[in-house]
Amino acid sequence: MADHKNKDKDIDLHSGVETTGHEWDGIKELNIPAPRWWLVMFAITCIWAVGYWIVYPAWPTLSGYTKGTLGWSSYKKLAEEQAEITSLRGELAAKIKSHSLEEIQNDPELYAFAIAGGKTMFKENCAACHGTGAAGGRGYPNLNDDDWMWGGDLESIYHTIKVGIRSTHEDTRTSQMPEFGEILKHDEISSVADHVLSLSSGKGDSEQGAAIFKQNCASCHGDTGHGGRQVGAPNLADAIWLYGGDKASIMQQVTNPRHGVMPTWETRLPDETIKQLSIYVHSLGGGEADKPKE
C-alpha cells in the first residue's frame, strides 16, 4: 500500500509542490490546500446561514414555510410602515385642521401635503364639472386663469367651496341676473350686446347699448363692465366667457340668463379637505394674494 501511495505521489519539479495527479497535455495541477483564512470564513458563513434559517423565515414546507423564531415577516414590516405613514398623515391632517389657510401656505411641509391631497380630492370631486386640469368648459369656470367671479384669494375660494353657489346651503353665494327678455326690446338687447362685445374688442360700440348698459347692467357688472364679485357678476371686458362670447350667446344670456349652480361641500367633505382643495385651486395659477377691497 505504502509503495503504491508513494508511486502515486507526483511532485512538481519546478515548485517542489505535490500535484493532484491530473494531467492535460503535459500540464499538471498543483495540489495547494485552500488558505486557512478562507476556510475560517467558509465555516463562519455556514454557521451564519444556519442561524439565519432558525431566526428568519427560510425553508418551504408542505403547508407553508418555516417562520423563524423572530416572527419577522415582510407583511408585518409593510403593515408597520403603513401604520407609520397613516399616523403621520393623521398628524398632518390634524395640523391642517388647526391652522389657518395663511399659516398652511407659509409652512412648506403642510403646504406640500395640502397640494398633494387637494389634487387627489379635486380629481375625485370636482373634475366631473371643472375638468381634470380645472380648465372648465361652457358654464363651468376655468379655475386656472385669474378671472374670478366670486374672488380668487384663499379665503374667497375656501368660502365658495364651502357654501357653494346657488346651492342648498343657507349661506350660499347667490345672485340672479334678471331676465331682460321681459324688460328690454329685442333691438335694445341687440345693441347692449354690441356694447358688451365692444368692451373686450374695443370695436362696434353702440351709443344706445352703452346707455342701456349703464342703466340696467352696471349695478352688477360695474360701470366699465369689469364685473362685481359681491354678486358673482363676471368681468365682461376680458374676453373670457362662461357662456360664449359671440353675439348670439350674449343675447341669449341677456334675454334668458342661466344661473350656474355649484354644490356646497361643507356637508360632504371634512373641513381639512376643503382647506386642502382651496390651497390646491389657489395654486393653479390664478390665485390672488390678498382679499381685494370690495
Determine the Cα–Cα distance for residues 177 and 242; give it in Å rounded to an integer: 14
Choose, by CB under 6 A, the member of 177, 197, 199, 284 that binds ligand HEC: 177
| Residue found by looking up cell 418555516 in the block | 66
Comparing CB distances to ligand HEC, the nearer of 18 and 171 is: 171
Counting residues that bind ligand HEC (by CB under 6 A) gives: 47
What the block records as the C-alpha cell of 237 is: 371686458
Q: Does residue 135 interact with ligand HEC by CB under 6 A?
A: no
Determine the Cα–Cα distance for residues 68 and 74; give it in Å rounded to an integer: 13
Choose, by CB under 6 A, the member of 92, 96, 104, 217 that binds ligand HEC: 217
Choose, by CB under 6 A, the member of 58, 115, 129, 135 that binds ligand HEC: 129
Comparing CB distances to ligand HEC, the nearer of 96 and 157 is: 157
Task: Tell me which residue has its CB nearest to ligand HEC.
Answer: 260
Q: Please, what sign has the CA dihedral across residues 248, 233, 153, 161?
A: negative
Site track for ligand HEC across 78-117, x = CB under 6 A: ----------------------------------------
Side-chain half-sphere CA neighbours of 244 within 13 A:
11
Determine the Cα–Cα distance for residues 282 and 86; give it in Å rounded to an integer: 26
Comparing CB distances to ligand HEC, the nearer of 66 and 230 is: 230
Cα-trace Rg, the chain:
39
| Residue found by looking up cell 374676453 in the block | 239
Q: Does residue 287 interact with ligand HEC by CB under 6 A?
A: no
Overall residue count recorded for the chain in this entry: 294
Say if CB 155 and CB 279 are below 8 A apart. Answer: no
| Binding residues for ligand HEC (CB under 6 A) | 125-126, 128-130, 139-141, 143, 148-150, 157, 160-161, 165, 175, 177-178, 180, 192, 196, 216-217, 219-221, 231-234, 236, 241-243, 250, 253-254, 258-263, 265, 277, 281
